[in-house]
Amino acid sequence: MSRPSAAVRQRRLVVIVTALVVVAVALVLVTGPLKSQSPNAAAPATAAQPSSAGSAPERAGADGAPPVATGSYRGGVPILMYHVIKAPSAGTPMAELWTPAETFKATIALLKKDGYQGVTLNQVWKAWNGGPGLPPKPVVVSFDDGYLSHSVTAKPILRAAGWPGVLNLEGKNIGKGGLTTSQVNGLIAAGWEIDSHTLTHPDLTTLDDATLRTELVDSRKLLQQKFNVPVDFFCYPAGVNDARVRAAVKAAGYDGATTVEPGIASKSDDPYALPRVRVNGTDSAATVAERVRTGDGVSGGY
């Protein structure tokens, strides 16, 4: 028998290759869907299906709220009192209320190095009243009024430390010239507590009963409704208060209130006259750390 010609062999090869290609395509079409339907098949990673590690920040809050600090401590707690976190320009009125960002950052870093842990006033209250305890060296970092620097400067510094803040917010400082609703919500997402500092920052001791109630009750309702937070604490404007005002604060439903008198707050204090450690803009990090330790300092505020 004679051998097939080269042309015949080439045609046979083409037929064989074509048949193999058809078989391969058929296998892909049949086995591909079966594999995707297998319960043991691993789902491909996609942007629409983030891993559990990627979803953790969302559970902690849009800005990564710090974890709640707990422990067994239930004793006294220093409450720092800040105002503007920014260096004052020449001629700034009440420049002592302006703390440069660098000083604030250094103070938080020093306190953390010394073993302190930031907590909220609500956490302190719960620890004093049968709830979860606190870490061994707790400190509350509170801010009065509601300035832009609380969001753009203080928030990232505290967030880097893993600490929350406490904002005593005036109703009139929500919006133009103060903090926007979005910025306040950003503080809440970062773990901050929002408390009331009245609507208009008046001397409460000079108000008639009806106006006093409006400043206390309506400011709380405003914050509760606007930000969906409890607002359990109050801060006296400039620290000014008397027995009538304290009774009105209690009647308005607050659990307690902070003053501008120096000291370490404790469960044995009048809950409606809790002391704080005032921080002036010229105070160094070491000065603040010493006052946190001792509770010493000057009285007064704004």
Q: How far apart are CA 49 and CA 5, in angstroms?
A: 59
Whole domain around residue 90: which residue ranges? 73-294
How many whole angstroms separate alpha carbon 94 and alpha carbon 85?
A: 13
Please report whether residue 67 resides in a domain: no
Determine, yes or no, domain membership for 89: yes
96 pLDDT more than 60 = yes
For 159-217, how does the pLDDT look when each residue is reduced to its tens digit (9 = 90+)? 999 999 999 999 999 998 899 999 999 999 999 999 999 999 999 999 999 999 999 99
The residue ranking higher by pLDDT, 123 or 15, is 123
Residue 279 lies in a domain: yes
Q: Tell me how far apart the alpha carbons of residues 163 and 157 are, in angstroms, rounded to a whole number.
A: 9
For residue 261, the one-letter residue type is E
15 located within any domain: no
What's the structural domain count of the chain? 1
- Say how far apart CA 194 and CA 251 lie, in whole Å: 19
Residue 218 pLDDT > 80, yes or no?
Answer: yes
Q: With 50 as the cut, is the pLDDT of residue 62 above it?
A: no
Tell me which DSSP letter residue 162 carries: T
For residue 142, tell me if it sits in a domain. Answer: yes
Q: Is residue 28 part of a domain?
A: no
Contacts of 163 (CB under 8 A, 6+ apart): 66, 108, 112, 117, 118, 141
User: Interior CA angle at 30 toward 27 and 32, to 5°?
Assistant: 90
| 3-state secondary structure at position 227 | helix
CB 68 within 8 A of CB 82: no
Report the predicted TM-score, pTM, of the whole model to 2 decimal places. Answer: 0.79
CATH code of the domain in which 284 resides: 3.20.20.370
For every residue of 22-51, DSSP letters joined together read HHHHHHHHHHHHHHHT-TTSPPPPBTTB--
206 falls within a domain:
yes
pLDDT, position 284:
97
Which band of pLDDT confidence, cut at 50, 70 and 90, is reported for residue 11? low
CA 87 to chain CA centroid, nearest Å? 23
| 221-260 tens-digit pLDDT | 999 999 999 999 999 999 999 999 999 999 999 999 999 9
Arithmetic mean of pLDDT over the chain: 85
